[in-house]
Amino acid sequence: MVVIGIFMVLPMMILVVFSFLEADPYGGVEPVFSLEAYIQILYEIDFDDTVVFNPIYLNIIARSVGLALVATFGCLILGFPVAYFITRQSPRNQNMLLYLITLPFWTNLLIRTYSWILILAKNGVVEQPLLALGIIDDSLGMMYTNGAIAIGLIYTYLPLMVLPIYASLEKLDFRLVEAAHDLYAGRLKVMREIIVPLAMPGIIAGCILVFVPSLGAFIAPDLLGGGKKLMLGSLIQLQFSSSRNWPFGSAIAVCLLALVMISLTIQARSAGKRRAMEG
């Protein structure tokens, strides 16, 4: 409880308090209560001091949620077959494959993300062979797009999808699969009716482990988006550094925290219903 209170609850409370204070032009906050940070998310003050609706930050939030969902879906499509394949191997091969899955975490995230610039950039690893073969005449323009950011997110968080799904599939009694085949069930039906439902706890856990950090990612948007495709993590980082608007950065962080808590609440409710049905 002490560790949770110091390292999780206290920083959250500081963010919440800062979000209701006024910004100091030189950085930090002034101890004056204000809702300006939250108002700034939706509105801005025009030249004639009138408050007008400004959707720019809502667009950033929508882009962050959309890219996080794309990354989660992409990791699920790629991660589930990998996790299933690992469970069908011998124990020795399983350990080796799990080692290879976790190996990228041993390398700095900045270096791993920067390597995608060499792959997706103009005349990069992808474009050079296509240009040499005459398949394309000009650059594909893959860099500094939402697609490049999604690729970076999927690459970064794919292991976080594979590992929990593997943990669920490892407990699967494959005699159930054999029994289903004996009852003339096809492969797709076995996958849909047996394997996926029993792996659902791992799927849900993997989706949360990918979706939550993808919402707050800022290295992939900065490097692969070129600063043109801001996400919530990049926006928060800018407010605490160059913009020196700590209350607004705190308000955005609180909104991000709210999205995370909503996701966790939905997962907890669905897990509770599933346990009640199984019980």
Q: 226-276, pLDDT tens digit by residue? A: 877 788 888 888 888 888 899 999 999 998 888 888 878 887 777 777 677
Q: Looking at this protein, which amino acid is placed at residue 261?
A: M
Mean pLDDT of 125-145: 84
- Total domain count for the chain? 1
Give the pLDDT band of residue 99 (cuts 50, 70, 90): very high
Summary mean pLDDT of the chain: 88
Q: Helices 146-170 and 109-120 meet at what angle, rounded to 10?
A: 130
156, 78 Cβ separation under 8 angstroms: no
Tokens representing 169 are 């599939």
**Residue 222: per-residue pLDDT:** 87
Range of the domain at 70: 2-278
Contacts for 213 with CB less than 8 Å, ≥ 6 apart = 157, 160
**Residue 172: per-residue pLDDT:** 86
What CATH number is given to the structural domain containing 218?
1.10.3720.10
In the predicted structure, residue 80 carries a pLDDT above the cut 90: yes
How many percent of the chain have pLDDT more than 90? 36
